[in-house]
Structure 1
Amino acid sequence: MKVIAFAASSSTTSINKQLVTYAVSHLPNAEVEVLDLNDFELPLFSEDKEKVLGQPELAKAFLKKIHDADAVVISFAEHNGSYSVAYKNLFDWCSRINPKVYLNKSVVLLATSPGPGGAKNVLAAASGSMPFFGAEVKAMVSIPNFYENFDQERQVLSHPEFNSEVMSAVSLLVV
């Protein structure tokens, strides 16, 4: 099984990247690739830019990664209650190439934040809209208070209940 994972963030110190990397490291017998959205940075989407640029190669490359995978795991950063610009922009470009961006793949959605909200707003938005874009959402997990619940030195989710939720979620991808 091939799994693509990424944090929906462009931060080089992303706590969501730490979470998604940890989560997919527990998939047995899976070929896992953790993507960095910085490798797919594109100009801000607009119809005017699309007329000039057409279908950018980086958007096509991102879609190919999803196409070649059996499943996708995403951990969403929440910026002012919504998606990060890095994710939303890449998604917008990709959706112009194929509106079913997630190509009927099984998807697990994660989110974390430094505070008690656990990025639940963006997680709710993602889980509500992703089926329209070809995602079969298998599970979603929010981790509040990241720095209290994730041991950054050992790179492990230290809170037993949250760890169990994440492990249960990613186990739904194993076929």
Structure 2
Amino acid sequence: MGERMLLGISGSLRAASVNRRLVREAARLYAPDRFIEADIDFPLYNGDVEDGPGVPDAVLTLVDQIEAAEAVVISTPEYNKGPSGVLKNALDWVSRVRPVRWTGKPVAVMSAAAGRAGGERAQMILRSFMVPFQARVIAGPELHLADAGNQYDADGRLLSDRYVDTLQKLMDNLQAEVTRG
């Protein structure tokens, strides 16, 4: 059996992002052989760029990482009741590369936000963004990390057993989906 690689995508570019921390916590609980955290700091999608210089190398790197991963975890913040523009932009760029590397890929989505709903609306919209890719998005349990700035210890670990238990179950379900093939 080959190396078990998990790809994590945070919908926030900030180094200390609560979504980046959540992706890292998911990876810790998933316990892959290798974890790669995607860089989605891409230029805005522009068809003229695609037709001219072509799809940026950074996008092609992400496409290769999606293909190589046994599973993907995505965490989105909630900006104005939806996922971040940077995450949507990354998905738009990836959608331009054929063949689609998401097809059949097990994917877990989650959200972390300052509000009391923990990014619930953004996560629901992110789930709909994944439909055209035909990924195998895990139904749940849904993890909406509320008041996210106060949910981690100094080492970036989740403080609440409730959130840890939910995230562990989500990662267990993601692993079960990988096993189902």
Q: Same fold (TM over 0.5)?
A: yes
Q: Aligned partners of 1:131, 1:31: CA distance in 2, in Å?
A: 27
Residue aligning to 2:26: 23
Q: Does 1:125 align with 2:125?
A: yes
Residue aligning to 1:86: 86
Deviates more, 1:55-64 or 1:139-148: 139-148
Residue aligning to 1:51: 51
How far the C-alpha of 1:29 sits from its partner, in A, is 4.8
Partner amino acid for 1:64?
D
CA contact (8 A) 1:99 1:133 kept: no
Structure 1 residues 29, 84: closer, same or farther in 2, change over 3 A? closer
CA contact (8 A) 1:100 1:132 kept: no
Residue aligning to 1:8: 11
How far the C-alpha of 1:31 sits from its partner, in A, is 2.1
Q: Does 1:95 align with 2:95?
A: yes
Q: For 2:95, what is the secondary structure of its paired residue?
A: helix
Runs (5+) with no aligned partner, structure 2: none
Q: Aligned partners of 1:89, 1:99: CA distance in 2, in Å?
A: 18
Q: Does 1:37 align with 2:40?
A: yes
Partner amino acid for 2:145?
I
Instruction: Figure out how many residues of one structure are paired with residues of the other and give that number.
Output: 171
Q: Aligned partners of 1:111, 1:87: CA distance in 2, in Å?
A: 12
Alpha-carbon deviations, 1:78-131, whole Å to 9, x = none?
221222222222211111113735232101101011121211111001112313
Alpha-carbon deviations, 1:136-169, whole Å to 9, x = none?
1113321111133x22313221112221111100
Partner amino acid for 2:12?
S
CA contact (8 A) 2:39 2:62 kept: no
Residue aligning to 1:110: 110
Residue aligning to 1:146: 148
Q: For 1:156, what is the secondary structure of its paired residue?
A: coil
Structure 1 residues 79, 50: closer, same or farther in 2, change over 3 A? same
In percent, how many aligned pairs have the same letter? 23
Q: Aligned partners of 2:93, 2:137: CA distance in 1, in Å?
A: 21
Let me know the Cα RMSD of the aligned residues: 1.8
How far the C-alpha of 1:133 sits from its partner, in A, is 1.0
Q: Aligned partners of 1:12, 1:96: CA distance in 2, in Å?
A: 27
Q: For 2:107, what is the secondary structure of its paired residue?
A: strand
CA contact (8 A) 2:114 2:149 kept: yes
Q: For 2:103, what is the secondary structure of its paired residue?
A: coil
Residue aligning to 2:67: 67
